[in-house]
Structure 1
Amino acid sequence: MSRLALAVLLAGTLLAAPAQAQTLRFGLMEDPDALDPTFARTFTSRMVFAALCDKLVDIGPDLKPVPQLATSWSLSEDEKVLTMTLRPGVTFHDGEPLNAAAAKFSIERHLKTPGSQRRGEIAPIDTVEVVDDLTFRINLKTPFAPLLAQFTDRSGMMVSPKAAQALGDKFSTAPVCAGPFKFVERVPQDRIVVERYDGYWNKDQIQIKRIEFRPIPDGTVRLTNLRSGQLDLLERLAPNDLAQVKRDAKLKVGSTVELGFQSIVFNLAKDTPLATDPRVRAAFEAAIDRNALNQVVFNGEFVAGNQWVQPKNPNYVAEYPIPKRDIAKAKALLAQAGVKNPVVNLTVYANSEAPLVGQVIQAMTKEAGFDVRLQATDFTTALDLADKGNFEAYLYNWSGRPDPDGNTFSFLACKTPLNYSRYCNPEAEAAMTAERASTETVKRKAAWKALADRTQADRPFVYLFHRRLLWAFSTKLSGFGEYPDGLVRYTGLKLD
């Protein structure tokens, strides 16, 4: 190579380096589903939405709501009218203004679009009225305590009415929101690329110019890419890899216990002993040792649990502590049900962790007489099977919401979007209606107790544990904060 050619090459490298340094390469555990906040339902899609779509309100580290697109709000004395004021001067990525009419459009889209995954989250909304350019009023059918908490996630994400109307059901192919980054491209199973939106209302706090989200389901491969410098940040580091990452001077770790749960969902619509007899489901649960499962698969880093919130949550129903494993009880329950050696087809995600959980459960329940057969399925296919009811049991992850209503209603209320178990019970429904209707702590705790009374008897779910969400990232990345919802905030992030 000539000296001139070498000089040109080196110059080009030096010029390219600063631009590359401001590209955040983020390793995801799965390829996200639809990039449309009305229809999306996965944890990984929320990672991408945190860059694309601001919400009416966010949550702080203490789980309390803080302003984002809305700067203030007030609730009427009868708790049936919520008035919100929007931040002035905000625009969507297509330049359209975020005003009260756009907020009304987005909320009604979440509420009324066929197939919306948000419908159950905000169902008590009756109407949305525009008061003035930056003020809108939400009229509720009944008081609805979790409404602000719902607006901290996808129900509170605003989309451009112009883009949504133009793209129709193709909106997810080119989403237009009001977040710090705008959509550039998506190559399924390979990458999602977003770039900084120069018109962002808080642009001075956005230092990263470009984010490349890269789905890498294998945790070992994801970590190898981080250690080799091909990634700058990864989510859901495998607990067994935590020690080696802590020893690596070039890497840092962040962690929080998730708001959600990891569980086994039983499809009660199937004509199987597991589906038709709660004693069989109780036997299945009695055969599982949650603490041993945590130690074997997750190096003891996760939190064992048996409810929709973890044991340290103030809304945990203390009357139902985590049960110990009891094989004799499991066998006795199967005998009472007149069932011998029931076959259970358990759907698990085809990633580096879920099959291991399935194998431990398979071995534990075998001692009680169950024949568990694992069906490893890719992430999006598993969700599709759950939607259609084409499964018997499903090892399911839910990332959680600040209010326990977000961990219960959409799964346990009749005919709600995430009711994969096909569970429908009037007493459970009444309990959830009661917790939604009051902001009083005592009344809500009584409602959670009533819901636990019913679901502990019926067992549409077996709750197993709550993940400690672990991030690993390069020491070149600064400004990283840990939030209880497990999502990355891109405000203040910087790559050196």
Structure 2
Amino acid sequence: RLANLRAGDLDMLERLAATDAASVRGDADLSIAQATSLGYQGITINVANGERANSPIGQDARVRKALSVAIDRDVINQVVFEGAFAAGNQAYPPTSPWYNAAYPVPTRDVNAARALLAEAGYPDGIDITVQVANNPVQQQLMQVIQAMAGEAGIRITLEAKEFATLLSEQTAGNFIGSQVGWSGRVDPDGNIHQFMTTDGGLNDSGYSNAEVDRLLNEARTSNDIATRRALYTQASDILMADLPIIYLYHQVWIWALDSGIQGFVPYPDGMIRLQGVSMTQ
């Protein structure tokens, strides 16, 4: 697609690969636009969805926290995405008004991860299996995480699967960990309610907490921003301790454009809106 843009066969392309961003910035005939997405990528942990939830990481939040603090999200961004994406640890990006600032993206702490494993009764570490989509970007992501986690005593075996199969296995509970993401929604409810409430439509982890249910159900019935923000903050206080999903990063939508295009505005939902856009030859 980038070659076609440079050849003049295209005027714009969406979702430029992060690894191509530097090349586009160095091309006087092209311009670049970007916006941090509304969604996220993370590792969903099976905590109560069938027999495979009976694993150390599924049954003990301390083990899940150990994996989280063993990961250097900034290094992932640099190594896999050449610094183009945004590190994250919540259902919303740090640029969102719904982000809980009391929990900034954690720094990596291997010693803390090992201490958490020992506290949970696993001083010699654990072995887990994580399924991942069989595309090169997500596999590279999980290989970096595999190396980081291994240094903390969390030995990860990766299972590469076709994406539709991965989703099917998640729904069926046939997984321990699953590297998967969500495209995101403008309203915060769309990023969290169906994933975290008991019997939520996309709650593949099987997570259930009555107080989280109450808070998220109440938040979706209010149209007062301050009220909703307080409720989501209270819910995230619980979820940051329980960690049914270990959030990793937020994709940045990147557009590459012919330099003759003027007035294009990038939006966090990734949609192309051409109102006000013009082009000079």
TM-score (norm 2): 0.88
CA distance in 1 between partners of 2:59 and 2:274 (Å):
47
- Specify the code of the residue in structure 2 equivalent to 1:465: Y
Identify the residue that residue 185 of structure 2 maps to in structure 1. Answer: 401
Identify the residue that residue 211 of structure 1 maps to in structure 2. Answer: none
Instruction: Find the partner of 1:390 among 174, 178, 184.
Output: 174
CA distance in 2 between partners of 1:242 and 1:226 (Å):
13
Matched residue SS, 1:321: coil
Deviations 1:349-375 (A, max 9, x none): 222321111111011100100111222
**Residue 47 of structure 2 is aligned to residue 261 of structure 1:** no
**Residue 17 of structure 2 is aligned to residue 238 of structure 1:** yes
**Residue 5 of structure 2 is aligned to residue 223 of structure 1:** no
- Specify the code of the residue in structure 2 equivalent to 1:277: D
Identify the residue that residue 57 of structure 2 maps to in structure 1. Answer: 274
Deviations 1:144-190 (A, max 9, x none): xxxxxxxxxxxxxxxxxxxxxxxxxxxxxxxxxxxxxxxxxxxxxxx
**Residue 96 of structure 2 is aligned to residue 313 of structure 1:** yes
**Structure 1 residues 334 and 469, CA, compared in 2 at 3 Å: closer, same or farther?**
same
> 1:411: how far off?
0.8
**Residue 111 of structure 2 is aligned to residue 328 of structure 1:** yes
CA RMSD, 1 decimal: 2.3
Identify the residue that residue 374 of structure 1 maps to in structure 2. Answer: 158
> 1:397: how far off?
1.9
Deviations 1:255-281 (A, max 9, x none): 101112121111213221111111111
Deviations 1:49-71 (A, max 9, x none): xxxxxxxxxxxxxxxxxxxxxxx
Instruction: Find the partner of 2:197 among 409, 413, 420.
Output: 413
**Residue 254 of structure 2 is aligned to residue 470 of structure 1:** yes
CA distance in 1 between partners of 2:171 and 2:258 (Å):
38
Matched residue SS, 1:353: helix
**Structure 1 residues 286 and 407, CA, compared in 2 at 3 Å: closer, same or farther?**
same
Instruction: Find the partner of 1:444 among 228, 234, 240.
Output: 228
> 1:232: how far off?
4.9
Instruction: Find the partner of 1:301 among 60, 65, 84.
Output: 84
- Specify the code of the residue in structure 1 equivalent to 2:38: L
Deviations 1:442-463 (A, max 9, x none): 3212211221121112110111
**Structure 1 residues 229 and 273, CA, compared in 2 at 3 Å: closer, same or farther?**
farther
Instruction: Find the partner of 1:453 among 234, 237, 246.
Output: 237
Query: RCO greater where, 1 or 2, for CA within 8 Å and sep 6 or more?
Result: 2
**Structure 1 residues 234 and 355, CA, compared in 2 at 3 Å: closer, same or farther?**
farther
- Structure 2: give runs of 5+ residues left out of the alignment: none
Matched residue SS, 1:411: helix
**Structure 1 residues 230 and 397, CA, compared in 2 at 3 Å: closer, same or farther?**
farther
TM-score (norm 1): 0.52
Report how many aligned residue pairs link the two structures: 275
The higher radius of gyration belongs to: 1
Identify the residue that residue 351 of structure 1 maps to in structure 2. Answer: 135
Matched residue SS, 2:136: coil
- Structure 1: give runs of 5+ residues left out of the alignment: 1-221
CA distance in 2 between partners of 1:262 and 1:237 (Å):
17
CA distance in 1 between partners of 2:142 and 2:271 (Å):
26
Identify the residue that residue 290 of structure 1 maps to in structure 2. Answer: 73
- Specify the code of the residue in structure 2 equivalent to 1:243: A
Residues 253 and 268 in structure 2, CA contact (< 8 A), matched pair in contact too = no
CA distance in 2 between partners of 1:225 and 1:387 (Å):
39
CA distance in 2 between partners of 1:388 and 1:224 (Å):
41
CA distance in 2 between partners of 1:376 and 1:266 (Å):
16
CA distance in 2 between partners of 1:359 and 1:375 (Å):
11
CA distance in 2 between partners of 1:352 and 1:230 (Å):
27
Identify the residue that residue 215 of structure 2 maps to in structure 1. Answer: 431
Moved more, 402-411 or 372-381: 372-381
**Residue 261 of structure 2 is aligned to residue 482 of structure 1:** no
Alignment of 1:31-430 (within 5 A): 222-228=1-7, 232-268=11-47, 269=49, 270-339=53-122, 340-430=124-214
